[in-house]
């Protein structure tokens, strides 16, 4: 019989830290973004969905302020929770735990520590937000251990900044999706103020997550690429005299966006402007298509989103492009890169009646002969899962 993630985490807790009171469980899912890339940090709406794959933490509060953590395949970590924690060396997984502790203490103060054991079925460095899920799960565990109630908005206020501790500062998409998604639904996320509108995924619609087998580690090189796209968008706004993209988009359509872009110098600044403005419009249209179960229009917007990410914002990778082509050639109506870009995964729109053919087509066209290919990690159906808040209520 398959052992549940909760049980695995509880067993790991016991074997690492000894027997004790019953473990408490917190889980935070990863996400796959359906459409809306590199626009959340410009506060434009995005359309991801949470996955059924998640980080699960079994934990027990401690009487003192020590935090001890273990994770399968990672070295055990231990530190005393105080204000102004120092970072562990770059790349050390302890930084996500430290980020969670720092996130809680900046807003609520320090408190009791925890013994915690982590299990995950999320592939790391794939653009599926495993790192945000880890930060969220630890943050919720520390809050729970200290009897602090924090709602979606409180958490959205602190989590994106908290992630800066790990050296990354994206937008709020990953946190909002991992916290606020509802099972069976995609999440239309807006940011002013942060809110999640659950949109049911129509019957017969399904999605594959397909890994390009190139890793989008949040290394400094990739982070620099990510930040340069953010700067290019800001520079475009400044050049055109806008305070933000919301003002740009007040009365804009695809044609007027192109007209505005024409006065920007050619290159990344113009590309970023065209991408962010166009992508923002595409998200709203794709969300409308999802609500109306209009597969053709939805697919069109996803395919346009990939082309724009590749050609305007230039965040794709040759292997991701090859994977997207392989998906389309295998009969998928749409496929695009998902997440920060520069490698990682693509999301493939694969209607239920074609999903097996598309999966086999991808194996033949893209994965054949790749020894590192592991279907469970690299090619799986993305079931729209519950966010951490729904998981807790259900749990
Ligand atoms: C990363 C960031 C998100 C978002 C995406 C790109 O996942 O964490 O906030 O910017 O990249 O859409």
3-state SS track over 10-31? HHHHHHHHCCCCCCEEEEEEEE
Nearest ligand 1 atom, CA 129: 7
Residue 142 lies in a domain: yes
Q: Please give the mean pLDDT across all residues of the chain.
A: 95
Lowest-confidence segment of 117-126, 171-180, 229-238, 245-254 by average pLDDT: 117-126
Torsion of CA 166, 40, 286, 334, to 10 degrees: -40
Q: How far apart are the first and last CA of the chain?
A: 21
Residue 256 lies in a domain: no
Distance 117 CA to ligand 1 centre (A): 27
Q: How many other CB atoms are found less than 10 A from the CB of residue 322?
A: 14
Query: Are the beta carbons of 23 and 13 closer than 8 angstroms?
Result: yes
Residue 104 lies in a domain: yes
Residue 291 lies in a domain: no
Distance 209 CA to ligand 1 centre (A): 17
Residue 365 lies in a domain: no
Distance 276 CA to ligand 1 centre (A): 13
The Cα–Cα gap between 270 and 89 comes to 37
Q: How many other CB atoms are found less than 10 A from the CB of residue 356?
A: 10
Q: What does the pLDDT look like over 33-49, one tens digit per residue? A: 999 999 999 999 999 99
Pocket test for ligand 1, best of 340, 341, 342, 345 (most atoms within 8 A of CB): 340
Helical spans, DSSP H, in 76-150 = 94-108, 130-145
Instruction: Please tell me the residue having the least CA distance from ligand 1 atom 5.
Output: 340
Share of the chain above pLDDT 90, in %: 88
Count the residues in the chain.
395
CATH number at residue 113: 3.30.230.10
Residue 331 lies in a domain: no
Nearest ligand 1 atom, CA 37: 12
Pocket test for ligand 1, best of 280, 339, 342, 343 (most atoms within 8 A of CB): 339
The Cα–Cα gap between 227 and 215 comes to 18
pLDDT at 219: 63
Confidence of residue 336 (pLDDT cuts 50, 70, 90): very high
Number of domains in the chain: 1
Burial class (CB in 10 A: 0-12, 13-18, 19+), 261: buried
Residue 143 lies in a domain: yes
- Residues 317-332: what's their mean pLDDT? 98
Distance 112 CA to ligand 1 centre (A): 32
Q: Which residue matches tokens 């735990």?
A: 97
Domain extent, residue 99, equals: 5-200+386-394
pLDDT at residue 1 tops 60: no
> 193: phi > 0 → left, psi -120 to 50 → alpha, else beta; which?
beta
- Residue ranges around ligand 1 (CB below 6 Å): 33, 37-38, 40-41, 170-171, 173-174, 339-340
Q: Is 174 assigned a catalytic role?
A: yes
Burial class (CB in 10 A: 0-12, 13-18, 19+), 318: exposed
Residue 65 lies in a domain: yes
The Cα–Cα gap between 189 and 32 comes to 13
């Amino acid at each position: 019989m398959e052992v549940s993630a909760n049980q695995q985490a509880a067993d790991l807790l016991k074997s690492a830290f000894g027997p004790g009171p019953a473990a408490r469980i917190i889980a935070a899912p990863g996400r796959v973004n359906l459409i809306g890339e590199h626009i959340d940090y410009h506060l434009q709406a995005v359309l991801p969905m949470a996955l059924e794959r998640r980080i699960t933490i079994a934990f027990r509060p401690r009487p003192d302020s020590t935090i001890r953590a273990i994770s399968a395949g990672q070295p055990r970590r231990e530190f005393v929770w105080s204000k102004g924690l120092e970072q562990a060396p770059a790349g050390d997984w302890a930084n996500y735990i430290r980020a969670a502790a720092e996130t809680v203490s900046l807003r609520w103060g320090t408190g009791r520590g925890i013994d915690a054991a982590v299990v995950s079925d999320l592939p790391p460095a794939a653009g599926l937000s495993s790192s945000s899920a880890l930060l969220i799960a630890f943050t919720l565990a520390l809050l729970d251990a200290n009897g602090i109630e924090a709602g979606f908005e409180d958490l959205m206020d602190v989590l994106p900044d908290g992630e800066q501790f790990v050296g990354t500062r994206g937008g709020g998409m990953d946190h909002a999706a991992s916290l606020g998604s509802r099972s069976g639904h995609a999440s239309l996320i807006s940011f002013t103020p942060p809110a999640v509108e659950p949109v049911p995924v129509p019957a017969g619609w399904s999605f594959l997550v397909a890994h390009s087998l190139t890793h989008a580690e949040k290394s400094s090189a990739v982070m620099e690429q990510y930040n340069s796209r953010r700067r290019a968008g800001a520079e475009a706004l400044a050049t055109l005299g806008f305070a933000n993209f919301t003002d740009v988009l007040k009365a804009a359509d695809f044609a007027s966006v192109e007209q505005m872009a024409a006065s920007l110098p050619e290159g990344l600044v113009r590309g970023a402007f065209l991408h962010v403005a166009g992508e923002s419009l595409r998200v709203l249209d794709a969300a409308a298509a999802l609500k109306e179960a209009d597969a053709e229009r939805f697919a069109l917007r996803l395919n346009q989103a990939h082309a724009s990410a590749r050609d305007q914002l230039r965040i794709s990778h040759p292997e991701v492009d090859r994977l997207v082509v392989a998906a389309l050639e295998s009969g998928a109506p749409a496929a695009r890169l998902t997440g920060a870009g520069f490698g990682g995964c693509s999301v493939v729109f694969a209607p239920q009646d074609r999903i097996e053919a598309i999966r086999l087509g991808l194996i033949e066209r893209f994965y054949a002969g790749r020894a590192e290919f592991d279907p469970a990690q690299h090619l799986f159906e993305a079931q729209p899962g519950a966010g951490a808040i729904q998981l807790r209520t259900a749990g």
